[in-house]
Structure 1
Amino acid sequence: MTTTIATTRDVSRPEFIALIAGLMALNALAIDVMLPALPYMGEALGVMNENDRHFVLTAYMLGFGAAQIAFGPISDRFGRRGPLLVGLVVYVLAAFAAAFSPTFATLLVLRFVQGMGAAGTRVIATSLVRDRFGGRAMAEVMSLVFMVFMIIPVIAPAIGQILLLTGPWEYIFFFMAGLGLVISVWAMIRLPETLAPENRRALTATVIIEGFRLVFTNRMAFMYGLSGMFVFGALFGFISTAQQIYVDIYGLGALFPVAFAAMAGLMSISSYTNSRMVRTIGMRRLSHGAMLAFTLVSGVWFLISLTGFMPLWLFFGLLAIIMFMFGWSMANINSLSMEPLGNVAGTASAVFGLVQTVGGALIGTVIGQFYNGTVVPIAAGYFVLGVIAIGCILIAENGKLFGVGDEYQDAPPADIH
């Protein structure tokens, strides 16, 4: 069945991509802008154990992951715009309230609530793209979204550092609330409704259960979703300890945001090159090759880290290769997980969002708790999780890698069943 979606909003492809990237960037901002402020928050709120400061990030990710399971079926029933705007309002209000947290426990609760609001942006942004694009075209658009999205990690730590120079750590939450409000207004004015009324699913227990059944029983989709969880877990383990690694081990001090920005910039370049290559090479070949390189270089990094202190140039060089491969793999892995599930895009996005964010955050938090003043736990996490992710891909593809198999290369989503 082919459906034409009518809308009064004439949004160009570049603006659509920029808006989707802006929605997703709110999540990166909520994590990365916090990194320079973690020591100050911990000191102000009486957090004695340095590793416990990571819970500011974990609480957000848990709320972000848990609420996605609700946003999926709701957006499949009521459309994309309404639930998205509700989530954005929650995000903005929780960020503003967090600036007035009297205790660390209160801060964690508000971060959890802020994450719940942001869950709508993850689920619905992915669904919006899936509503309009399929196959390699979706992978190309998602790569461009990630390219713009990665600008936030490039500049967010520097923004956090500047805000700390101009005032207390609470300013960071005011900044998050302000930017969230700007994105909310943009979405309210310009975002089209991409889910036609005739394609909406009833919000009943039977229909919801059937939607989840379709997601969990599709081997290829679900195993690619799990693969993304393990790769994201490795990344979150690094993000949660990045400030300690760059400042405590390598003594970068105020230059920490520069090092973090350089890494995020490489990931943005990687996403852009993926968008240029995916139509000719294909999602499978790019993502499979990238994951093999990701895991191989992580293994080398881990072995070298066991021999003793790793100089900054070597640490940064190996991590740069790994994170470049991350950019090539994740956009394609996420597209492959959504590919067979266009008729339940909201529910599918919710399930994979829950699995990847909650599972990845928990895995990354465990890795962060093993931080011992060396890079060994982080390197081990990247290598082990890379191996597991490849195992999931092999299960998804019946034991074969590098298949062409992008069956629906540029087919419109309504034609994919």
Structure 2
Amino acid sequence: MAVPGTIALLAALSMFGPFSIDTVFPAFAVMGRELGADTLAMQQVTSVYLLAFGAMSLFHGPLSDAVGRKPVMIVGILAYVLASIGCALSTSLPMLLAFRALQGATAGAGQIVARAVVRDLYSGPRAQAAMSQIIMIFAVAPALAPIVGGWILAFGPWPWIFWFLAAFGLAMAALTASRLPETHPPQARTPLRVGPLLAGLWEVGRQPTFLRIAMAGSLAFAGQFLYIAAAPIFVLDLLDLGEQDFWIFFVPTIGCMVLGAHLTGRAAGKIEPGRLASFGLAIALFAGVLNVTLQAIPGLPPLPWAVVGPALMAFGIAMVFPVLQVAMLDLFPHRRGAASSVGAFLTLMLNAALSGAVAPFVTDTRLHLAIASLVLVLLGWGLWRWHQRAAGLAGPADPVAP
């Protein structure tokens, strides 16, 4: 049985993603001027990170199934520290992108494997409650990261942000080594061979129920993530705010996310998980419609109305995420690392495409950004409804079935 300190550590390990992405946002304009990169080129600083994160995410989980959770975490985090130092020392955009790719390839060692650790420790409603607690703590990172980045930028040059990330990585490696128990014993491990590793990924990735659940959650979350990926443009250009003003967007959004995760944790064992997920997706869909409506009203001031929809959407998505994460891991009790990896891969590939190929082209106006966000949430909601019908016809035993 895990102690509260273990839950807090797992939440901190899950912060690698948002800290690596959001802390850099306030420095985009300065970095672009110094490195000779325009807005579209600077968006690749995020998309390259996400592409590498997603590609390597396929292997962090299966490796932890084979050699244990802690070794994969510690080695990956130390490699992340070296990549962050490389980013800090970069003198050109290609050099920075190369080290950002290495950052992405290693950051998932903590973030993805931590989800498998939760399911190693807990089952049933307790797993849902634990995942919700982690999300509540983890949710602080996207709100805190750009604020920290802005503070660092106010007192020093942009490389200091990456030195901060390197220090964060060193602290997490030390805490993981000294405080985190090994939750995957040798007798439960799978062979460390390429054939079985790839076979495990294929077993997970071709399961229709898994794919429906994973893609429903990924598409719905993409509606929220589009705003996160476009934050430098949304905050600095569309809202005409400054480099220290990212909190105006992130604080209400993440505050609603924490509240949604808290309610999901309280509902564990009391409300059927599938019903809870449907309710959260309905809220996210309503938020998307409300957001488009507000941005379409002529003469309406940008603030606070531009952040109302994204914040309410975050509330709904936070209710959905813990339920779907536990459901995906429960489908493969002997390959939880692989299930966590494939689920993360699908989400990250979609987010990378949004950051590099979509966000730059839908951020000319707040209305276009709101419409794109709504379309993504609508697709996730539709796929969830399809899953419910398919699961109902099959008479399944998975925990998110109607």
Range into which the TM-score falls when normalised by the shorter chain: over 0.9
Partner of 2:97: 108
Partner of 2:346: 355
Residues in 2 aligned to 1:148 and 1:104: alpha-carbon distance in whole angstroms: 33
Change (3 A) 1:367 1:211: same
- The question of whether the paired residues in 1 share the 8 Å contact of 2:221 and 2:317 is answered with no
Partner of 1:381: 372
- The question of whether the paired residues in 2 share the 8 Å contact of 1:248 and 1:373 is answered with no
Residue in structure 1 matching 2:358, options 354, 359, 367:
367
Corresponding residue SS for 2:91:
coil
Corresponding residue SS for 2:157:
coil
Q: Are 1:271 and 2:256 an aligned pair?
A: no
AA of the residue aligned to 2:113? I
Question: Cα distance, 1:201 vs. partner?
Answer: 0.8
Partner of 1:143: 132
Change (3 A) 1:300 1:12: closer
Question: Cα distance, 1:340 vs. partner?
Answer: 1.2
- The question of whether the paired residues in 1 share the 8 Å contact of 2:273 and 2:399 is answered with no
Residues in 2 aligned to 1:265 and 1:56: alpha-carbon distance in whole angstroms: 26
Residues in 1 aligned to 2:372 and 2:295: alpha-carbon distance in whole angstroms: 12
- The question of whether the paired residues in 2 share the 8 Å contact of 1:290 and 1:328 is answered with yes
Change (3 A) 1:306 1:52: farther
- The question of whether the paired residues in 2 share the 8 Å contact of 1:32 and 1:153 is answered with yes
AA of the residue aligned to 2:361? F
Question: Cα distance, 1:67 vs. partner?
Answer: 0.6
Q: Are 1:183 and 2:190 an aligned pair?
A: no
Tell me how many residue pairs correspond in the alignment: 397
Q: Are 1:35 and 2:8 an aligned pair?
A: no
Q: C-alpha offsets along residues 53-87 of structure 1, whole Å, 9 cap, x if unaligned?
A: 11111111111111111222211111111111111
Partner of 2:384: 393
Residue in structure 1 matching 2:46, options 40, 57, 65:
57
Residues in 2 aligned to 1:56 and 1:205: alpha-carbon distance in whole angstroms: 31
Q: Are 1:298 and 2:288 an aligned pair?
A: yes
Residues in 1 aligned to 2:367 and 2:340: alpha-carbon distance in whole angstroms: 33
After TM superposition, list the pairs within 5 Å mapping 1:92-171 onto structure 2: 92-171=81-160
Change (3 A) 1:126 1:44: same
Corresponding residue SS for 2:90:
coil
Change (3 A) 1:251 1:69: same
Q: C-alpha offsets along residues 143-167 of structure 1, whole Å, 9 cap, x if unaligned?
A: 1001011111221111111101110
After TM superposition, list the pairs within 5 Å mapping 1:149-298 onto structure 2: 149-253=138-242, 254-298=244-288
Change (3 A) 1:310 1:329: farther
Change (3 A) 1:300 1:406: farther
Residues in 1 aligned to 2:397 and 2:251: alpha-carbon distance in whole angstroms: 34
Question: Cα distance, 1:30 vs. partner?
Answer: 0.6
Change (3 A) 1:322 1:310: farther
- The question of whether the paired residues in 2 share the 8 Å contact of 1:122 and 1:353 is answered with no
Question: Cα distance, 1:343 vs. partner?
Answer: 0.9
Partner of 2:5: 15
Structure 1: where are the runs of 5+ without partners?
1-10, 410-417
Question: Cα distance, 1:370 vs. partner?
Answer: 1.2
- The question of whether the paired residues in 1 share the 8 Å contact of 2:235 and 2:246 is answered with yes
Partner of 2:311: 320
Corresponding residue SS for 1:370:
helix
Residues in 1 aligned to 2:164 and 2:283: alpha-carbon distance in whole angstroms: 38
What is the root-mean-square deviation in Å for CA atoms of aligned residues?
Answer: 2.2
Question: Cα distance, 1:384 vs. partner?
Answer: 1.1
AA of the residue aligned to 2:92? T
Change (3 A) 1:406 1:301: farther
Residue in structure 2 matching 1:334, options 325, 328, 336:
325
Which moved further from structure 2: 363-372 or 99-108?
Answer: 363-372
Q: TM-score, normalised on structure 2? A: 0.92
Q: C-alpha offsets along residues 119-174 of structure 1, whole Å, 9 cap, x if unaligned?
A: 21132111111111223221111110010111112211111111011100010000
AA of the residue aligned to 2:15? A
Q: C-alpha offsets along residues 223-247 of structure 1, whole Å, 9 cap, x if unaligned?
A: 1111222123223321122232223
Residues in 1 aligned to 2:221 and 2:307: alpha-carbon distance in whole angstroms: 19
Residues in 2 aligned to 1:405 and 1:284: alpha-carbon distance in whole angstroms: 12
- The question of whether the paired residues in 2 share the 8 Å contact of 1:76 and 1:346 is answered with yes
Question: Cα distance, 1:368 vs. partner?
Answer: 0.8
Change (3 A) 1:75 1:299: same
Q: C-alpha offsets along residues 327-354 of structure 1, whole Å, 9 cap, x if unaligned?
A: 1112222222222112100111111111
Residues in 2 aligned to 1:400 and 1:78: alpha-carbon distance in whole angstroms: 34
- The question of whether the paired residues in 2 share the 8 Å contact of 1:270 and 1:328 is answered with yes
Q: C-alpha offsets along residues 273-314 of structure 1, whole Å, 9 cap, x if unaligned?
A: 221123211321111111122113212322443454553222
Residues in 1 aligned to 2:198 and 2:93: alpha-carbon distance in whole angstroms: 38
Residues in 2 aligned to 1:393 and 1:275: alpha-carbon distance in whole angstroms: 21
Which moved further from structure 2: 237-246 or 174-183?
Answer: 237-246
Partner of 1:412: none
Q: What is the identity percentage for the equivalent residue pairs of Structure 1 and Structure 2?
A: 26
Partner of 2:334: 343
AA of the residue aligned to 1:201? T
